[in-house]
Structure 1
Amino acid sequence: MNSQPSDTFEVPTVDIGPYVRGGSDDERAEVARRMDDACSRVGFVQILGHGIPEAVVDGLTTALDAFFGQPLDFKEQYRVVGANRGYSPPKSESLSLSLGVESASRMNDFFEAYNIGVEARSFPHLDLSEDDYGLNVWPEVDGFRDRVQTYFDEAARVARTLTRVFADALGQPADYFERLTDHSIDVLRMNNYALPEGTVTLDGDLTGMGEHTDFGIVTVLWADRVAGLQVLGTDGVWHDVEPLPGALLVNLGDLTARITDDHWMSTLHRVKPPIVDGRIKRRRSVAFFHDGNVDAVVSTLPEYAGPEPYEPILIRDHIKAKLAGSRHGKANTAAVREAARVLAAAGENRG
């Protein structure tokens, strides 16, 4: 692997406006072509034209600040053990273990987070279990639920628009992804990387969020324009990435990589703590994970299958293995391809 960053690395920008506002067939075809290029070369995309109003984003960040600004003992009331919901305090997770990769210090990711998402009872016509979804807990913070839910609904719309683009880009029927996502496990994770003085030690082992791939089909990310997010390029080097003004960052998850047998990449990424003069600079991010139906089986499309394609996998099993790594400290032994890419990255650049 190369040890120097490539001068040609970039996260492509795609304006999905023609799919949001109703463009011509030619306009949509060009968006799909650009998306295919971005997903096959990088696996991360800057998207414009997504249509989320600025006021909705402002409401989201107001809610995020109001919650994370509370004392730790208040936030701990909303910790839900064993579920992908509620509050996660600092150093309670290790994303690298979702790949089966041991970090220098287990459970050392210093971000704190709050998760809400779709519940099984959102689909009363189906026999689903909350064990696979999870019940939301809403903190008693003025305006939090309404503002967060409003953003969640907008992000869900964007994710489903993207899967429509994906279907066209892959040459599939327009409804290809609907069979995988019509009762999708969708989770919104709000992350905070600014912690009160004295809660962390600023040493060489400190990790903002360990290297990982996302679990599902697609992730839609809002983030501050603050350094920290890094993407592992095909050159084997970690590259800094920041969102463009007004853009959302989009990356593919493991399941989309499986569908395309890695023709489209589920790109490894991490967050390094931006430390200035011995202090952690504030950084916030909000990720919408569109993970697919718990009872759906994901298989590689025949036209993309190589000589050793992925085995079909039940989405429930895939997500459980990933969560067992990140939240419960149990290394995921199934993530062979992803772990190999992490371990092959240039040594001192792994962090």
Structure 2
Amino acid sequence: MAFHVPQIDISPYVNDGSAEEKAAVAAAVDTACREVGFIQIVGHGIPTDVSAGLASAMDDFFGMDLDAKKQYRTPPSVNRGYAPPKTESLSLSLGVESASRMNDFFEAFNIGDSAGMHPDLDLPKDAYTENVWPDSVPTFEPKVSTYYEQARRVAQTMVDIFEDALGVEEGTLSGLTGHSIDVMRMNNYALPPGEIELDGDLTGMGEHTDYGIVTVLWADQVKGLQVLGTDGGWHDVAPIDGALLINLGDVTARLTNEKWMSTLHRVKPPIVDGTIERRRSAAFFHDGDYDAVVAPLAVCIDEGEHAIYEPITVGEHIAQKLAGSRAGKKNTTAVREAARVGAASS
């Protein structure tokens, strides 16, 4: 079967369509999650000017001198603020060491929900960290925050669709997200434009799975993102006009006993005729509540099957993954994901 990322119009869920329209969307999402794990969604309702505002804010920040950007750097244990190029290795979140031992060639800026947003709960501040905003770019915070709330709405809509697609009661998945660890990572592939000699091991962003329930990705229409297909090969994926890319994370793979799989993906340096093209993306991660315990749902365990995963909290799982990508500590718990990387063709 040829690799294909399906396009799905989710407007019946955004605009309160009929039961029949919603059922068609849910069925299409179920098929996509079982066969690919990536979806192109349209009809998501994010205004064009909001997405454009996000892009311009990213341009303003990443366009600053490196020393100026480094003022907003945080320690590896803090998943906020600026991360310079070559300071992370996402393949280590899977327990996989890159052949070249070369960290990823992207720079990023992270924001997310803080403990202060949930004053009635005693949430750990290391998971719900306060944001670091670049005061040298005064328009950055309002533009990014506006998009962030829209992306959160889309992620919550996708969770509603997932519940219908899996045929579970309302609240089965959304009940895990009352104080979800939500983070948005804005990425800029930071190799200088122009002609450059590259060895085959240079990586824009190493192979990895996302950590939580669902990821909402805005990206330039520039090649670079590659998804691992069921054929064992890597396939280029770029959004069509006006679309967002949706992919599943590890928490959803655990909940569905891998009926739906957290799809491996990576970013290779976008090079055309020896020239590196600039590429930007912003990934909104809807990961679930820190203290939510996740294990395969009964509806996803067929007769004669067993639960692939033991119960674990979202917080424990994410801590293991972040220790790999940000702190350089090989994640020894990602055995199944690492085996998939090992079996993939280059």
**TM-score interval w.r.t. the shorter chain?**
over 0.9
Q: 1:308 deviation in Å? A: 4.4
1:233 match: 229
Q: 2:117 aligns with which of 114, 117, 122?
A: 122
The answer on 1:40 being equivalent to 2:34 is yes
- Matched to 2:175, the amino acid is R
1:289 & 1:56 partners in 2: Cα distance? 18
1:345 match: 344
Structure 2 unaligned regions, length at least 5: none
**Secondary structure of the equivalent of 2:51?**
helix
**Count of aligned positions:** 340
The runs of 4+ residues in structure 1 deviating greater than 6 Å are none
The answer on 1:21 being equivalent to 2:15 is yes
**Secondary structure of the equivalent of 2:285?**
strand
Q: 1:97 aligns with which of 92, 98, 102?
A: 92
1:72 match: 66
1:275 & 1:34 partners in 2: Cα distance? 34
1:142 match: 138
Alignment of 1:48-67 (within 5 A): 48-67=42-61
1:239 & 1:249 partners in 2: Cα distance? 14
- The C-alpha deviation readout for 1:180-221, integer Å capped at 9, x for no partner, is 1010000010000143369x9732221000000000000000
Q: 1:303 deviation in Å? A: 2.2
- Matched to 1:202, the amino acid is L
Q: 2:24 aligns with which of 25, 30, 50?
A: 30
- C-alpha contact (below 8 Å) 2:193/2:278 kept by paired residues: no
Structure 1 unaligned regions, length at least 5: 1-5
Q: 1:335 deviation in Å? A: 0.7
- Matched to 1:337, the amino acid is R
2:169 & 2:48 partners in 1: Cα distance? 33
1:133 & 1:256 partners in 2: Cα distance? 21
- C-alpha contact (below 8 Å) 2:105/2:190 kept by paired residues: no
- The C-alpha deviation readout for 1:14-37, integer Å capped at 9, x for no partner, is 111000001000000111000000
The answer on 1:304 being equivalent to 2:303 is no
- The C-alpha deviation readout for 1:225-263, integer Å capped at 9, x for no partner, is 000000000000000111011000000000000000100
1:276 & 1:18 partners in 2: Cα distance? 39
Q: 1:304 deviation in Å? A: 1.3
Aligned-pair identity (%): 65
TM-score (normalizing by structure 2):
0.96
- C-alpha contact (below 8 Å) 1:20/1:50 kept by paired residues: yes
1:151 & 1:31 partners in 2: Cα distance? 24
- Matched to 1:16, the amino acid is I
1:3 match: none
- Matched to 1:136, the amino acid is N
1:251 match: 247
1:63 & 1:107 partners in 2: Cα distance? 29
Please provide the CA RMSD for this pair.
1.3
- Matched to 2:14, the amino acid is V
Alignment of 1:267-282 (within 5 A): 267-282=263-278
**Secondary structure of the equivalent of 2:202?**
coil
The answer on 1:321 being equivalent to 2:320 is yes
